[in-house]
């Protein structure tokens, strides 16, 4: 019997080695002991399916992937965006970008757990209101100090003034039915802006026309620069030519919202809209933010070339919110003096009115009346402070008259409160048969569900007439 050697290889291993290296086994007649103990100076590399090689390749792939920044996680819900800009995976244009981040750069990245921009950078997060409050921008509530409450008597009186175009004879049940039809058919915010808001604004719009979807990218940050720039759905402001160029240049970061300088300046009336799935909390935070921007703009005009800053506690800026389903709300915004010598002015938002304009015809009438009167009142305040700023500039230069405006205001834009001075161009609605309540700018003969159309320009009024305007 031919002796055979005992091996310790697992079953099947020796068969594989015999097939790969037949010369390693002793031929017939060789000593069995020599064949079993034969040593091989070289052993070929394992096949690619070897577990050790596969692991090494995977580790190499992971290392190369990590050097390029790793996976891009920005599309994951809740991923905190860093406050500084750096190259992420997928952007590998230059060798310096492809090399990844070194240890120093990694240490300089902000900690997502403590980065403020990841928590409060947008009105769409709850912490945004807290961020505003930290920077003295408040929504007034029942616990607010009485000294910070605004004077609303003048505003309430102006908002309740009837408008002939919304009288019982002109705003009919059919108009109400059509309004509720468009509101209930709205599927998103865009539908509300296109089909519902024009009925509230009115067919005719004050000059200049409202600006829409404008990014406020020219203003000084209202807080610490870590939150998003404002972008209201609609805002009203003054024409660039209404304010002297030197004042525009001096106050540019307070009153000129957009780098497109043809947009209206000194915004102080805002409209923010949400669709059926929109959040009331989000739209309220947006209104608080945008209203404070407008409040600062008017306050900077009010205090232009003043020896001491003026804090009279009166609101001169307004914001309105509308949510699909008929919720129309109006807020007033005012500024108060800093509470400390090193502090900043404080901005406050106060809810003035709220209407469910889809509940019945009378609610729709009173809601649209209040909205349009507030818009016209905001224009009156805006025109007043622009005129006073122009006058102070002229007085500083030794001139008797204010500088001529580039475009001026049409006489049809003077408000209801000036009617008794004879400054209101009387557009009497023939259906009412009276000149006591003229049709105001922004009114239509009936409820209109068509977008605002540009109005024809009017010649500028004489400067001396403008100075008679009352608050």
CB 324, CB 180: distance < 8 Å: no
9-12 long-range contacts, CB within 8 A, separation 24+: none
Count of H-run helices and E-run strands, the chain = 16, 7
The Cα–Cα gap between 256 and 243 comes to: 11
**pLDDT tens, position by position, 269-309:** 999 999 999 999 999 999 999 999 999 999 999 999 998 99
C-alpha angle 279-283-287 in degrees, rounded to nearest 5: 165
Which residues have a Cβ under 8 Å from the Cβ of 161 and sit 6 or more positions away?
A: 369, 373, 416
Please report whether residue 17 resides in a domain: no
Number of domains in the chain: 1
What pLDDT score does 142 carry?
Answer: 53
* 108 lies in some domain: no
Report the distance separating Cα 350 and Cα 422, nearest Å: 33
Whole-angstrom distance, CA of residue 155 vs CA of residue 152: 5
Which helix (H) or strand (E) is 266 found in, with range? Answer: strand 265-274
Name the token pair of 359: 């509940």
Please choose, from the candidates 224, 30, 203, 195, the residue with its C-alpha nearest in 3D space to the C-alpha of residue 115. Answer: 224
The pLDDT tens digits of the residues spanning 46-100 come to 555 555 666 666 777 777 766 666 676 655 655 555 544 444 434 444 444 444 4
Does residue 357 lie within any of the structural domains?
Answer: yes
**Domain range for 176:** 130-466
Residue 62 is assigned to a structural domain of this protein: no
Looking at the domain assignment, is residue 218 inside a domain? yes
Domain membership flag for residue 14: no
pTM for this structure?
Answer: 0.65
* Angstrom distance (rounded) from CA 97 to CA 88: 9
The confidence score (pLDDT) of residue 24 equals 47
Please state, in angstroms and rounded to a whole number, the distance separating the CA atoms of residues 441 and 418: 13
- Exposure string over 264-301, b if 16+ CB within 10 A, otherwise e: bbbbbbbbbbbbeebeeebbbbbbbbbbbbbbbbbbbb
Is 332 contained in some domain? Answer: yes
Q: Is residue 285 one of the residues assigned to a domain? A: yes
Q: Helix 361-396 crosses helix 280-302 at what angle (to 10 degrees)? A: 30
For residues 193 and 159, what is the distance between their CA atoms, to the nearest angstrom? Answer: 23
Beta bridge partners of 142: none
Q: What is the mean pLDDT of each run of 10 residues along the chain (471 residues)?
A: 49 49 47 47 55 65 69 60 44 44 42 46 92 90 70 92 90 95 97 96 71 96 94 96 95 96 96 96 96 97 93 96 97 93 92 96 97 96 97 81 41 36 34 38 53 41 41 35
Which element (helix H / strand E) includes 104? helix 103-108
pLDDT confidence of residue 449: 55
In angstroms, the CA 345 to CA 339 distance is: 8
Cβ atoms < 10 Å from Cβ of 465: 14
Q: What letter would DSSP give residue 421? A: G
User: What gap in Å lies between CA 356 and CA 360, rounded to an integer?
Assistant: 8
């Amino acid at each position: 019997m031919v002796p055979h050697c005992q091996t310790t290889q697992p079953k099947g291993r020796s068969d594989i080695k015999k097939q790969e290296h037949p010369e390693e086994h002793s031929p017939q007649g060789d000593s069995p002991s020599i064949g079993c103990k034969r040593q091989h100076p070289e052993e070929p590399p394992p096949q690619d399916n070897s577990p050790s090689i596969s692991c090494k390749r995977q580790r190499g792939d992971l290392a190369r992937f990590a050097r390029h920044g790793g996976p891009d996680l920005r599309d994951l819900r809740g991923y905190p965006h860093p406050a500084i800009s750096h190259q992420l995976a997928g952007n590998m244009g230059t060798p310096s970008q492809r090399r990844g981040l070194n240890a120093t750069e990694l240490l300089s990245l902000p900690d997502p757990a403590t980065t403020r921009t990841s928590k409060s950078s947008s009105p769409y997060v709850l912490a945004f209101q807290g961020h505003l409050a930290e920077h003295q921008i408040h929504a007034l509530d029942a616990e607010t100090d009485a000294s910070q409450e605004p004077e609303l008597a003048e505003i309430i009186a102006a908002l309740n003034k009837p408008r002939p175009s919304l009288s019982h004879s002109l705003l009919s049940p059919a108009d109400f039915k059509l309004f509720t039809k468009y509101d209930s058919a709205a599927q998103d915010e865009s539908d509300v802006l296109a089909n519902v808001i024009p009925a509230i604004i009115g067919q005719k719009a004050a000059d200049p026309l409202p600006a829409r979807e404008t990014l406020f990218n020219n203003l000084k940050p209202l807080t610490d620069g870590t939150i998003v720039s404002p972008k209201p759905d609609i805002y009203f402001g003054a024409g660039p030519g209404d304010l002297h160029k030197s004042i525009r240049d001096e106050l540019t970061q307070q009153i000129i919202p957009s780098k497109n300088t043809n947009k209206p300046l000194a915004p102080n009336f805002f409209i923010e809209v949400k669709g059926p799935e929109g959040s009331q909390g989000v739209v309220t935070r947006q209104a608080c933010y945008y209203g404070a921007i407008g409040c600062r703009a008017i306050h900077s005009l009010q205090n232009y070339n003043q020896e001491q800053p003026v804090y009279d506690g009166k609101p001169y800026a307004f914001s309105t919110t509308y949510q699909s389903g008929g919720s129309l709300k109006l807020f007033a915004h005012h500024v108060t003096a800093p509470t400390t010598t090193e502090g900043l002015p404080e901005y406050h938002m106060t809810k003035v009115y709220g209407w469910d304009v889809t509940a019945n015809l009378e609610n729709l009438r009173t809601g649209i009346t209040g909205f349009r009167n507030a818009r016209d009142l905001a224009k009156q305040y805006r025109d007043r402070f622009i005129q006073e700023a122009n006058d102070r500039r002229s007085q500083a230069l030794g001139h008797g008259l204010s500088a001529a405006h580039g475009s001026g205001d049409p006489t049809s834009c003077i408000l209801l409160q000036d009617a008794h001075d004879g400054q209101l161009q009387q557009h009497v609605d023939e259906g009412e048969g009276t000149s006591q309540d003229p049709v105001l700018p922004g009114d239509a003969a009936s409820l209109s569900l068509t977008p605002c159309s540009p109005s024809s320009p009017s010649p500028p009024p004489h400067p001396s007439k403008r100075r008679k305007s009352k608050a």
